[in-house]
Every structure is written in C-alpha cells, then in structure tokens.
C-alpha cells in the first residue's frame, strides 16, 4: 500500500489496489519483494505514457519515495 500510494502521488495515477498472490519470484526469494505493474503495452495510451522519459522519471521517483517510506517504518 505504501509503494502504491507513493506511485499515485508522484505520477498522478489512480491506484487500482494491492493484490497478494503466491508469485514464485517473490515466494522463492530470501529477500522481501513486490511486483509493480505500471501499465500495459497492449494499451496504446499506456504504452505511450510508459515510453515517455518524463513519466519514467515520475515512476522512478514514486518507487524511490515508497521504498524510503517503508525503510523509515521498520
């Protein structure tokens, strides 16, 4: 929820919720992790947005802010 909220704040996107699933990439790792879906390349609007350097910077900032908030909570 923390990462989703930070991404929404920095990108202006609407959070679509956080879901939990037994994804092998995460369950088989000794380190904590999460999978973040940023959009769909099959959607032309989202593909254009994902290709934008400006949007990529916003996403990177949102992920960094969310991770920093999580690190501060522990």
- Write down the pLDDT at residue 55: 95
pLDDT value of residue 32:
86
Its pTM stands at 0.82
Q: Which helix (H) or strand (E) holds 61?
A: helix 53-73
Candidates 31, 36, 40; CA nearest to 4 is: 36
What are the respective helix, strand and coil percentages of the chain, to the nearest 5?
60, 0, 40
pLDDT over threshold 80, residue 73: no
Q: Sorting pLDDT into bands at 50, 70 and 90, what band is 21? A: confident
Q: Cα separation of 46 and 38, whole Å?
A: 9
């Amino acid at each position: 929820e923390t990462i989703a909220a930070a991404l929404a704040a920095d990108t202006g996107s609407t959070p679509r919720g956080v879901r939990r699933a037994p994804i092998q990439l995460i369950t088989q790792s000794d380190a904590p992790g999460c999978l973040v879906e940023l959009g769909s390349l099959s959607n032309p609007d989202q593909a254009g947005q994902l290709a934008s350097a400006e949007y990529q910077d916003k996403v990177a900032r949102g992920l960094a802010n969310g991770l920093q908030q999580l690190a501060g909570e522990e």
